[in-house]
Amino acid sequence: MLLTAAVLLIVVGVLHSVLGELFVLRPLLAAPGWRVRLPRRHAEGLLRGAWHLTSIAWWAAAGVLLGGSAPVVVGVMCLASAALFFAIVRWHLAWPLFTAAGLLSLAAVGAVPATVWWLLAGLAVLAATVAAGFHVAWATGATLGAADVLPQRAGSRERLAEPGPLPTLAVAAALSVYVVVVLALVLGADGWWWTWCGVAALAILLARVVGEGRYVGVLKRVRDTGFARADDRRWTPAVALLATGMGASLALGA
């Protein structure tokens, strides 16, 4: 009976997503007349994400009925939900929260292999090293990749600030310290201060992902600038990768 119930939930989820796209979402999103308080493109992504999120929840319920461990099923469900929202509504706070909840659920029962933590930490170290290199280059006058790296005023390309070489080098130094802390944690360096440095860095990175509510992060309100679009596509996801890598290094060093 549980098998039958699980199969029915899987079928319902598939039908919900496929038929919903064909007969509800696409006709609705193609209609020109409806309005909400959000910008139209944001509302469209949010409606699509919320619709398919229901299917993911039903498939997770089927996984529990089939005997899956509840923390593992919830963790996979959260990561699948994070991937969905990251692809469709990257500006929404749900995807970093789903990611954190999924990894924590899996880590709590030891369902994340150490190789995955090593991979995440390695990718984060690589990203931080590349970013530090770019900042050193920018501090010496290079312009490659520097077009949309700083917040801009609404409706214009005017930057809020023009940092000089020293602040730019300070960012490069901070990224280098990040690399040192991650490597120290994954390699098992002695000293409680490494853990505290890692926790502090993780808190700072998560705060950057969330943002200050106006110009940066997933909660920013100014979204009509080149920086805002680049922030959604590249900068905030890159910071989220650094946060995930630091979390992975803390898990390995625990």
The pLDDT of residue 36: 80
**pLDDT of res. 147:** 84
Q: Which residues contact 28 (CB under 8 A, 6 or more apart)?
A: 34, 47
Mean pLDDT by 10 residues, the chain (254 residues): 93 96 91 82 89 96 94 96 92 90 92 92 97 96 88 85 93 97 92 92 95 91 90 93 94 84
Helices (H), the chain: 2-20, 26-30, 40-65, 70-88, 94-108, 114-139, 165-186, 192-210, 226-230, 236-253
Which phi and psi angles does 247 have, rounded to 5°?
Answer: -60, -40
- pLDDT, position 242: 96
Q: What pLDDT, on a 0 to 100 scale, did the predictor assign at position 121? A: 95
d(CA 224, CA 108): 40
pLDDT (0 to 100) of residue 77: 97
pLDDT of 26 reads 92
Q: Copy the structure tokens of residue 236.
A: 């905030």
The confidence score (pLDDT) of residue 43 equals 87
Give the per-residue pLDDT at 155.
77
169 with 159: CB under 8 angstroms? no
